[in-house]
Structures are given as C-alpha cells and as structure tokens.
Chains A and B, each alone.
Chain A
C-alpha cells in the first residue's frame, strides 16, 4: 500500500523576482529565475490540481504581483473551486491589482509585516513601506477581501509585537500569523535577527498573550507550523501532530521544482513538473521520505516522549538549523528541558 494522503494546501512561488531585498528572506528572493514556468506551464499545473483534491493555493514568491499573468493563473484555480490567496509585500499593490483580485475571485490577501514602522522598514530595507502596507490593508478590506498579516519574529521586533497587535487591529486586520525567523536564505547570514533560546521562549509567552488579547479585539492570532511545540506556550487550537510538508501540503517553485515546503533547501526537490506529473511526484514511494517515514530523533529531540507524534517539529526549521531532520532546536519543550527552565 502506498502513501494515502493528498496535498490539500499548496504554496506556489509564482516568481522569485522581488522588488525588495529583505534581510530575513528565506527564499533569498530578488532576481527572477532563468527557467521560470511559462504561463502555459502554470496553467497545466493548475489543471493537475483538482485530481489531487487541492483545496487551497497560496501565491508567494518573490513577490507574486511581479508576475504580470498572475490573474490568469488565479482565475484558473478559482474556476476549479480552489481557494486562492496572495501574499504580498504591498509595493506593487495598487487599485488595479485589488480590482483584479476581486475580479478573479481571490479569497484573501496576506501581508508581510515585520514590526512597527521603523523596524519593518529597516528589515525590509525600504523607507515608508509600513505606511504603504497599512494603505494596502485598507484597500483590500474596502474591497471586502480579508487581510491576513504574517510576521516573522526576530530579535529586532520581539518586544514590539504587543504594540503591533494594536496597530494591526486599528488597520482592520482580523488574522495575524507569527512565525520565527528561519535561518535559511538571507536569514542565515543576518545573525542579528536570530532568536536565542531565551528569546524563543519569550516569543512563546508573547504569542500566548497576543492570542488572548487578540481574541478580545477580534483579531485571530496564531503561530505558524515552524513555531512550537507543546507546553502551555503552544497556543495552536489543534495540538501539533507533525510537519505537514509532503503529507498534506507541498510547495511549487517558480521553475516547477516540487518540494514538501518552499522553505526546504533545493537538494530536497522531489521532482519537476516539466518532467513528471504532480500526481506521479506526489505518489512516488521515494518522495518526501523525511516526513512520510519514521525518522530517527536527532540530539535535540532524543528521548522526548512527544517524538512519535511530533516527528521533530518543522522539517524546514530543523534542517535549516542543524542540517538534519527530526532535530528542531526551536521547541518550547526542548529548550526548557535543555535550559532546565521550570514550566
């Protein structure tokens, strides 16, 4: 019997081209790949998704709006009933783009916000960008497109997250996702952004408080798969049960490479949709072994009674930090045990 799962959610890097050069970018985005998929190839990918029962597709990048034909690709997905969302840095977001989103049936817009104005603009290396994001949020909300904010928690913004919640609430945001910085891509070289063990535990405490405060404000605050796990600091509604990459989700790179998650390194490409169908790549018995097979706990996870269910946390974070799977050092429970911090 082969693997019995399907990729319900897909993150699709429409292009690696980006109009920013953010210090923490895990994709090290900026310059377009020389071999990005053509429109026809993208539409062929879209046509393969219904059979795989894909329910949601999130356009990311790079900056997806830099790909001029994104509305055509989005329209094809929407035609299949696939919830389609765009994550943008807002630089290229204008009234026309918002109108196109509405016209093609985009379900929501994600904005990357990495702190209050000065911090965000510093990390993103573009003065005035925070104000532009707030304007963008107002534009999409006015168009009745729900806005979600995604914040990468770093050493520079940790202490201003509570104030950022108030700012986002004031801007009309109703969903906020917080994720710790990945030490991959450009994020690897900017050590000043990295979280220490102590700072990571503090992130857990802050996120827990924000979830509570957000509820009273009507803002749903949650953490990404890369943030956790266990202990009272993990505020996710459903207990962590393992990394979804290659089990219920996958990533499509702009050149057609298929990975369990776009944050995983290129040596973990499982195939390319120019060479094989997505179905064949997904059900190849050699694909996504790091999450589909029982792994061996690395030093950070060894002896943990949660390992059988957890599998060692987020595969991309584990691999980015240690070069190994099943060995995520960014774990509330693991850090507490290593630092002998009482719960």
Chain B
C-alpha cells in the first residue's frame, strides 16, 4: 500500500517497481532499440536507491555526494507524482556506487 508523506504520494518502493531507464545518450543508437529500457533492479540495488530517496524525502538526509544528483532526480519525480524515469548516466552512477567503487577508473594498467 502506498503511503502519504507530507502530502506527497510516495509509492511503496519498489516492491513491484519497474524502473524505466531513458537510453538516449548515444546519437547513433538504432531507433529500433527502444528509447526506454525497462529494467527490474535486483533487491540490493533497489534497497540502496530506495533507501536514499526515502531518507531524503522523509528526513532530509543528504545522499552521498557520488549519487547526490541521481537521488535528487528520483526524489523530485516521486514528489511530483511522476513515473520514475532514470537517465542512463544516473543509472550508471548508482550502479557504480552500489558496487562500491568508481567504475570509470582504469584498472588494467
């Protein structure tokens, strides 16, 4: 069941939540590829992201700097009652954070 928080209709994260990732960052992507990729993040990822969004909305707890922008983006959508759509850059940042490191650092040299 969803719960109202400060007049914001807060979806009961993420129990059956299906995120939509907006995949539009590379100009050459074939239009046959759906612009939106629906993903079902695993429980651990879901819990991490949902926890930060909930903490921000309910208690004003700032997320870690590395994922501040994506968490704010999601929180904004939640508070405005929009369907959750995550930019691909936000998704990569969140996944990288969840994996405990910066994935864009060279590691094979």
A and B: interacting chains: yes
In the complex, are the beta carbons of B103 and A279 less than 8 A apart?
yes
In the complex, are the beta carbons of A53 and B103 less than 8 A apart?
no
In the complex, are the beta carbons of B103 and A4 less than 8 A apart?
no
How far does the Cβ of A221 sit from chain B's closest Cβ, in whole Å? Answer: 15
Q: Which of B25, B39, B108 is close to A4, meaning CB atoms less than 8 Å apart?
A: B25
A287 to B21, CA, bound (A): 24
Count residues of A near B (Cβ-Cβ below 8 Å).
Answer: 33
In the complex, are the beta carbons of B21 and A284 less than 8 A apart?
no
Nearest residue (CB) in A for B25 is A4
Interface residues on B, range: 20 to 34
Stretch at the interface among A116-124, A203-211, A236-244, A314-322: A236-244
In the complex, are the beta carbons of A284 and B92 less than 8 A apart?
no
Q: Is the interface of A mostly helix, strand, loop or mixed?
A: loop
A282 to B106, CA, bound (A): 11
Stretch at the interface among B27-35, B54-62, B71-79: B27-35
In the complex, are the beta carbons of A279 and B25 less than 8 A apart?
no
Q: Given A2-B92, A4-B89, A6-B88: A284 and B107 within 8 A (CB)?
A: yes
Nearest residue (CB) in B for A243 is B28
In the complex, are the beta carbons of A284 and B108 less than 8 A apart?
yes
Q: Is the interface of B mostly helix, strand, loop or mixed?
A: loop
Q: Which residues does chain A contribute within 8 Å of B31, judged by CB atoms?
A: 237-238
Q: Does A323 contact B (CB under 8 A)?
A: no
Q: Does B95 contact A (CB under 8 A)?
A: yes
In the complex, are the beta carbons of A3 and B104 less than 8 A apart?
yes
In the complex, are the beta carbons of B30 and A238 less than 8 A apart?
yes
Interface residues of B (CB under 8 A from A): 21, 23, 25-34, 37, 39-42, 45, 88-89, 91-92, 95-96, 99, 102-109
Interface residues of A (CB under 8 A from B): 1-6, 8, 50-51, 53, 55, 81, 237-238, 240-242, 244, 247-248, 270-271, 276, 279-287, 309
- Could you list some 6 contacts between A and B, CB below 8 A? A1-B104, A8-B29, A50-B40, A53-B39, A238-B32, A279-B96
